[in-house]
Chains A and B, each alone.
Chain A
Amino acid sequence: MPPEQGEIVRRIVADLKDRPGPLIEVLHAVQGALGYVPADAVPIVAEALNLSRAEVHGVVTFYHFFRETPPGKHTVHICRAEACQSMGANALVAHAKKRLGVDFHETTPDGVFSLEQVFCLGNCALSPAAMIDGDLYGRVTPERFDQLVAEKKQ
């Protein structure tokens, strides 16, 4: 982790450490600023919050949302839950993996897309659903997926 990133982490944790139960808030802020939670951030956070490294590492790894590697420029979440399955989510997942050439939790070699699974985006009446960088999409056919990917790539 570059020194300037360490400085960002220290500033975040100093800002938030007096809030009740701050660890998850701190991790959200770190990931918000850096895109992920670097391994080197763990001891800094642990020391500032008077926790063990194991406790911080345990929280980082418990939650699917926190990532320990840098994400691609765009993060694509595809919903795999039941409602989306009933409208072809499995086929969409297969298509997306093939189209991007990566599996879940991987990033394309050009660093443009990270692919993640998600279990429900709350768009179950317009299945299948996907989320790209926090924007929600409904009725995502393989064709629409290709179109969205092409738009993001520009």
Chain B
Amino acid sequence: MTAVTIYVPRDAAALSVGAEEVAAAISNECSARGIELKLIRNGSRGACWLEPLVEVVTPGGRVAYGPVTVGDVASLFDADFLNGKGHQLFLGPTDEIPWFKSQQRLTFARVGIVDPASLADFVANGGYQGLRRALSMTPQDIVQAVLDSGLRGRGGAAFPTGIKWKTVLEQAVEQKYVTCNADEGDSGTFSDRMLMEGDPLCLIEGMTIAGIAVGATQGYIYLRAEYPHAYRALNTAIAAAYQARYLGSDVLGSGKRFDLEVRLGAGAYVCGEETSMLQSLEGKRGEVRVRPPLPAINGLFMKPTIVNNVMTFGSVPTIIQHGAEFYKNFGMGRSRGTLPLQLAGNIKRGGLIERAFGVSLRELLYDYGGGSATGRPIRAVQVGGPLGAFIPASQFDVLIDYEALTASGALLGHGGIVAFDDTVDMAEMARYAMEFCAVESCGKCTPCRIGSTRGVEVIDKIMKGIDGERNLALLEDLCDTMLVGSLCGLGGMTPFPVQSAIKHFREDFRAKAPLKRAG
């Protein structure tokens, strides 16, 4: 009898709801029944609400069951799930599930499909085609392709990637660096983590192409310490890439060198700001640097440095493999390509959805997300992490596009979407935004360091009913000061959630404590 092949994700989100125990139970059940098992630990397909999502390979393709608990395993075997038969957790052929089928996966094409620890699997599924192509191109042509693709920085700032690369390429300096910002600190975002765990070689390929393009021989992935699973997955993949000479002194026999290593952060949100990240990579306090000089000219150890997000590098192999035109044909306006969106918080069907720019927030929240997890109306959505604006239900038709969101007073950031039901207290959320800024401020500039603490105090007064209107005016004034006077986005954008909460949910900014006591 030939072995059956079963996929059980090793993604941290899947593990967080019992995937390891399910994998062990399947393995035990196979032993007990004398079935030879080939167990593959893939990344997550992104449907977090279906995790642990177990897939069985049948002659007709992969068939999905989920969410599977240890208690379901014996009954799955009894129902002959090894032949893709029916069961109450049967979801059908994985690729036919509408939630997956309607997506446009470029960066996440392999995530959940391949074994992230297998370089052979990566290569068999189109991996390293981009690097091979890049090695046959001139550095100028690689940079031009990235420029022509319209790719903009996926970390949040949306700066054209090609321009950054061009600046680094033009520096006539011996030592240059490629650094990846994997300090994914925004609440509601997990696409970087999922790619690093589910297809780490995609990031490695993208960074190697960047190194070849601008003449940098050393790359660093700055990974947040909160991601131990990604740390292991990246190191396994880097070791495999060195072994097969995709990294090292002679990349694929080209004579070109590219070395890569992972450096761990240590729990500081501000290190997601690029100059702060560079300080941290140098082993220093993550205090923001004054710009100019730009990192592309004086970056890591004051050398020309590319700083890009995981998703940005993760888009590069596709662009080089299939050409700028292919990538550019996805999207709308000045937002080209696809964006891995992350649907999170109080949502029924949360997870990762990669779509071309131009999908509406409503479609994401209701068609993919199925509304709130609690079944109550969604009252507000925060897009773009803790520095992103709150969007009220009346604006859910806004399109996911850098310019469209900016025009509506919000921002896209790293593509995280956090839903709140109607029990949310928006004054509390505004207070939290200020508190978070106070905890995470690097302390270098006054508006952020002091302003955030004053912000918490003022909101506390408003919520206690002390001089409500006057303190609300003071809060708005404080927001203005932080907005224009801060050195970086932390202090400069913390006002966005606060101001949007006041603008759209002003009724929440009043004394509530006495009412609670009366009730």
- What are the residues of chain A within 8 A of B420 when measuring CB–CB? 86
Task: Tell me which of A23, A64, A86, A138 contacts B13 (CB under 8 A).
Answer: A138
| Stretch of A7-15, A95-103, A120-128 that contacts chain B | A120-128
Please give the distance in Å from B10's CB to the nearest CB on chain A.
12
Interface residues of B in 255-293 (CB under 8 A from A): 263-269, 280-287
- Closest approach, in angstroms, between the C-beta of B189 and any C-beta of chain A? 7
A129 within 8 A of B: yes
Contact between B282 and A87, CB atoms less than 8 A apart? no
For chain B, the count of residues having a C-beta within 8 Å of the partner chain is 62
Given contact pairs A81-B187, A120-B187, A126 touches B16 in the complex (Cβ within 8 A): yes
CB of B219 closer than 8 Å to a CB of A: no
Q: Which residue of B lies closest to A56 (CB)?
A: B283
The answer to the question of A21 belonging to the interface, with a C-beta cut-off of 8 Å to chain B, is yes
Query: Are A134's CB and B228's CB within 8 A?
Result: yes
**A120 contacts across to B, CB distance below 8 A:** 184-189, 226
Q: How far is the CA of A127 from the CA of B343 in the complex (A)?
A: 11
Judge if A33 is at the interface, Cβ distance under 8 Å: no
Of A21, A64, A86, A122, which is within 8 A of B424 by CB? Answer: A86
* B216 interface contact, C-beta 8 A: no
Q: Which of B87-95, B140-148, B245-253, B345-353 is found at the contact surface with chain A?
A: B345-353
Contact of B286 among A26, A63, A127, A139 (CB under 8 A): A63
Q: Would you give the shortest CB distance from A125 to chain B, in whole angstroms?
A: 3
* Contact A21 B282, beta carbon cutoff 8 Å: yes
Q: Which residues of B contact A74 (CB under 8 A)?
A: none
Interface presence of A131 (CB below 8 A) = yes
- Residues 46-88 of A, flagged 1 when their CB comes within 8 A of B and 0 if not, give 0000000000001100111110000000000100011111110
Which residue of chain B is the closest to A129 with respect to CB atoms?
B16
Size class of the contact patch on chain A: 35 or more
Distance from A85 Cβ to chain B, minimum over Cβ atoms (Å) = 7
A22 contacts across to B, CB distance below 8 A: 283
**B189's contact among A20, A24, A124, A131, by CB below 8 Å, is which?**
A124
A26 CA / B228 CA spacing, docked (Å): 18
Q: A82-B386, A134-B228 in contact; A124/B267 too (CB < 8 A)?
A: no
How far is B421's CA from A102's CA once the two chains are assembled, in angstroms?
30
Whole-angstrom CA separation of A59 from B229 in the bound complex: 25
Contact check, A83 vs B17: say whether CB atoms are below 8 A apart.
Answer: no
With the chains together, A65 CA to B228 CA distance in Å?
Answer: 13
Interface string of B412-442 (1 = CB under 8 A from A): 0000101111001000010010001001101
Are B229's CB and A125's CB within 8 A? no
Cα distance A24–B176 when bound, in Å? 22
A136 CB–B CB distance under 8 Å: yes
C-alpha spacing A125/B281, complex, angstroms:
30
Are A119 and B185 within 8 A (Cβ)? yes
- Contact between A118 and B345, CB atoms less than 8 A apart: no
Query: Which residue of chain B has its CB nearest to the CB of A62?
Result: B285
Q: Is the CB of B440 within 8 A of A122?
A: no
A145 at interface by CB-CB < 8 Å? no
Do the beta carbons of B342 and A125 come within 8 Å of each other?
A: yes
Which single residue of chain B is at the shortest CB-CB distance from A124?
B344
Whether the pair A122, B193 counts as a contact (CB closer than 8 A) is yes
Question: Are A122's CB and B266's CB within 8 A?
Answer: no
Q: Are B344 and A125 in contact (CB under 8 A)?
A: yes
Q: How far is the CB of A112 from chain B (nearest CB, A)?
A: 21
* Contacting residues, chain B, for A131 (C-beta < 8 A): 226
Contact at A136–B266, with CB atoms within 8 Å? no
- Shortest Cβ distance from residue A79 to the other chain B in the assembled complex, whole angstroms: 8
Q: Is B49 an interface residue (CB 8 A)?
A: yes
Which residues of chain A are within 8 angstroms of B227 by Cβ–Cβ distance?
Answer: 122
Complex contacts, B15 vs chain A, CB 8 Å: 135-136
Tell me whether B117 is interfacial, beta carbon within 8 Å: no
> Would you call A122 and B184 a contact (CB within 8 A)?
yes
* A22-34 interface bits toward B, Cβ cutoff 8 Å, 1 = contact, 0 = none: 1111111000000
Known interface pairs A21-B284, A121-B226. Does A87 touch B268 (Cβ–Cβ under 8 Å)?
no
Which of B189, B226, B269, B281 has its CB near the most chain A CB atoms (within 10 A)? B226
Verify A84–B187 contact, CB threshold 8 A: yes
Q: Please, how many angstroms separate the alpha-carbon atoms of A28 and B352 in the complex? A: 31
B496 at the interface (CB under 8 A from A): no
Residue of B nearest to A138 (CB): B16
Is B12 at the interface (CB under 8 A from chain A)? yes
Q: Which residue of B lies closest to A121 (CB)?
A: B226
Q: CA A7 – CA B242 in complex, angstroms?
A: 33
Are B48 and A64 neighbours in the complex by a CB distance under 8 Å? Answer: no
Which residues in B have their C-beta under 8 angstroms from that of A122? 12-13, 184, 189-190, 192-193, 226-227
Known: A24-B280, A126-B17, A126-B51. 14 other contacts (CB 8 A): A24-B265, A63-B266, A66-B266, A82-B188, A83-B416, A83-B418, A85-B429, A119-B269, A119-B439, A120-B188, A122-B184, A122-B190, A123-B190, A138-B13
Can you pick out 22 interface pairs between chain A and chain B where the beta carbons lie within 8 Å of each other?
Answer: A21-B301, A24-B264, A24-B265, A24-B266, A26-B283, A27-B266, A62-B286, A64-B268, A66-B266, A81-B188, A82-B429, A83-B188, A85-B432, A120-B188, A122-B189, A125-B49, A125-B347, A125-B352, A126-B13, A126-B17, A127-B344, A139-B16
Interface residue ranges, A against B (CB under 8 Å): 20-28, 58-59, 62-66, 77, 81-87, 118-127, 129, 131, 134-139
- Top 6 A-B pairs, shortest CB-CB distance: A125-B350, A81-B187, A124-B344, A23-B283, A63-B266, A65-B267
